Structure 1
Amino acid sequence: MSKMFMFDALRLATDEEMEKDSTVCVIGEDVGHYGGSYKVTKDLHAKYGDLRVLDTPIAENSFTGSIGAAITGLRPIVEGMNMSFLLLAFNQIANNAGMLRYTSGGNFQIPIVIRGPGGVGRQLGAEHSQRLEAYFQAIPGLKIVACSTPYNAKGLLKSAIKDNNPVVFFEHVLLYNLQEEIPEKEYFLPLNKAEIVREGSDITILTYSRMRHHVMQAVNSLVEQQYDPEIIDLISLKPLDMETIGKSIQKTHKVLIVEECMKTGGIGAELIAKINDNLFDELDTKIVRLSSQDIPTPYNGSLEQATVIHPHQIVESVKNIIQK
């Protein structure tokens, strides 16, 4: 085991897969000599050359076109310096990456990973604080992953690089400096499985990305007050792991969803729909979701913090649900 930051875990995953497979390449803004805006590609250009770690102009609607490279045999890892600006490449991701395997009758595979930082940071402003997981969740043909720890970041990214389908890989901008012991031995994690972070019997809390850590802070307080919540990190946002979610709900019969996504049309909204469709008879009370405010994220620090969910709100919601 060795302790490392999440950005180092992502870098190591990329390095290991590039070393094993010459078709794996990295493309994006400042990924080469600068080493990436969050140092995920640091020094890789020196090891693999400027053509396998390719710096691009600031033009997401251009370099995301490496979907064509994926069709012709490469395995591109596209780094968005900030995932918010993948909106500029939405057409390519939706109509090309998501659909070409289907519209070609299976003649084309699209082994591309589109990864980078997203979420609400610290005073990054509205345009750099987008949560695009809900935008992409509606697109057929994509897999969507949200890592939350150095351990799962490395294992999930290695699996994403090997996958023959397009994977949109979300990293939270405030988790890059998170440290954790991870195995030195190579490992892979499934892209379609949720993680049971804590087993419990009172309530199922569904969360992902940075909110996993807010939930775990809340759990410390809840356990002291004799509550026993079960915590599930979704990890896979498309497809949702309804098998793991269903088994938990059949045990607890109560659900709280905690997300950084906006409430309207968010991941939580889709979860509620799926749970109501498939597990309604297992519920003892209505599903509650804690989501970000449906407003552009303010630049002002205090207002920015007021738009997202915090541990004390999770504690209060759990207590209200269980005591009903």
Structure 2
Amino acid sequence: MLRLSLRRGLRSGLDFSRRASFATSTAHSKFAILFPGQGAQYVGMGKDLYDTYPVARDVFEQANETLGEDLASLMFAGDQDKLTLTANAQPAILVTSIALFRVFESEYKLDLLKHCAYVLGHSLGEYSALVAVGALDLGDAVKLVRLRGQAMQESVSQRTEPTAMTALVLQGTSIDALKTHLGAIQPMLPSGEVAQLANINSSKQVVLSGTRRGVGLAVQELQARRLAARAIDLPVSAPFHCSLMAPAADTMREALRNITFRTPVLPIITNVLGEPVSDPAQFPELLVRQVTHTVQWLASQHYCQDHGIQDFISFGPGRVLANLLKRELPKATIRPIATTNDIKQFRL
């Protein structure tokens, strides 16, 4: 009878593997949840969620209502250049990430306190992390990241010199040695030029941010010293996570004074510290500092590893974080949830 029932189920298209849930499974250890930052956006992202799951549709509609505009339509069928604008990309990625998380949470009976150890987000993704663990309301997060994107763009809109962000693949050097060399290079740059460490993404990949000339000169010097191999200019509209973003940090400090943060159900490994924080009183200042300070993603990953975490799930468009983590921690298990299909195919 069981075999017959199974055959009937397969013929009817039922996916019996999805009957498993975190609530009933004992064959898993605690894991960490990841959320991506800007750069993962693409037209069409999230539409499969909106069309399939009411819980996801609620997330998109709440964002539309909060912003007073149809962000969902821009995401599903809009212009890629308009979606890529920082003020649009940031809320779009946050909303998609939370919609994916909410659907997964519902479908698999996920209990963060029981099943997870830490939550962390890359840059913008830190706001997604705060929403996921109940420290920040979704509506407040959507308004904040829209403002954050606008403020970041406006920070450089009046500058006459162009800005840049460049990813570097390192060779034959450590992160500490790279920092030492960058510290020596900065005073050598012409007056007004900036080249600072924006992201430490892995032991082999970092991102420099600043003025275009300053970053270009710093890259040339690092390559001449055989510390960096490839250099890839990033298609961004502002130099994130460097001192040029100081006006944006001031804007965010003022806005965050009016936001209520709650104690998260799980610690959040923050970008600025690379270690967990649970005190809601610390979140506003850390989010302000994040705008101009280095994203400590390498330290964040290794904190998880050093505390026994080998399983990770990322929620959000694209697979950049999954690829970074797999290269840095090859023994870890990382499962990206970026589409409806990823949710349906997930295995405990």
TM-score range, shorter chain: under 0.3
Q: Highest relative contact order (Cα 8 Å, sep 6+), 1 or 2? A: 2
Question: More helix per residue: 1 or 2?
Answer: 2
Q: Output the TM-score relative to the length of structure 2.
A: 0.25
Larger Rg, first or second structure (1 or 2): 2
Question: More strand per residue: 1 or 2?
Answer: 1
Q: Output the TM-score relative to the length of structure 1.
A: 0.26
